[in-house]
Amino acid sequence: MSGEDRTSAGLEGALEATAASLGLTIPDACLPGVVANTQLLHGYVELICGMPLPDTCLPAYEYQP
């Protein structure tokens, strides 16, 4: 699903479900801000996941110059 397809209302429901699975309750006052930031992050996720990488490219948890 692209960022454009995600309506705020749909995203709110998805976020609340994910939050509940982690034991987090998003206060009503925070929901618009969390939705806005999630939409921003989804844009970044689409950018990075749009770049295929070879299976041998491993995550960079450590840096050994």
Nearer to another protein, 9 or 47 (CB): 47
Q: What is d(CA 11, CA 38) in angstroms, rounded to the nearest whole number?
A: 9
How far apart are CB 38 and another protein at their closest, in Å? 4
What lies within 8 Å, CB to CB, of 65 at 6+ separation is none
What lies within 8 Å, CB to CB, of 16 at 6+ separation is 26, 31
Q: In the complex, which residues of this chain contact another protein (CB under 8 A)?
A: 15, 18-19, 22-27, 29-30, 33-34, 36-38, 40-41, 43-45, 47-51, 53, 57-61, 63, 65
How far apart are CB 10 and another protein at their closest, in Å? 14
